[in-house]
Amino acid sequence: MVEYYASLMQKFAETPEFKDYLKATSQTRRIPRGGRTHGLYQHLGIHAMKVFEAEGWNLTN
């Protein structure tokens, strides 16, 4: 499933609109794949939870 989205993102990254977006922002063309993807999302999730807690957001069900 993750590979599907990585492939989709790769196709999107080749469009002129995305290239213009990259020029106007601090984003990168690099698309993480495989084990790097899991580690990246795990890191982002941990960081996001710290922000949510600091802002006082209750995310429990």
- Domain of residue 49: give its range: 2-54
Domain count, the chain: 1
Q: Would you give per-residue pLDDT tens digits along the chain (61 residues)?
A: 567 877 888 888 889 998 888 888 877 676 666 777 777 778 888 888 888 889 988 776 5
d(CA 44, CA 52): 12
Residue 60 within a domain: no
Q: How far is CA 33 from the centre of its chain?
A: 11
Residue 20 within a domain: yes
Contacts of residue 25, Cβ cutoff 8 Å, sequence gap at least 6: none
Residue 33 within a domain: yes
Residue 36 within a domain: yes
Residue 14 within a domain: yes
Residue 59 within a domain: no
Residue 17 within a domain: yes
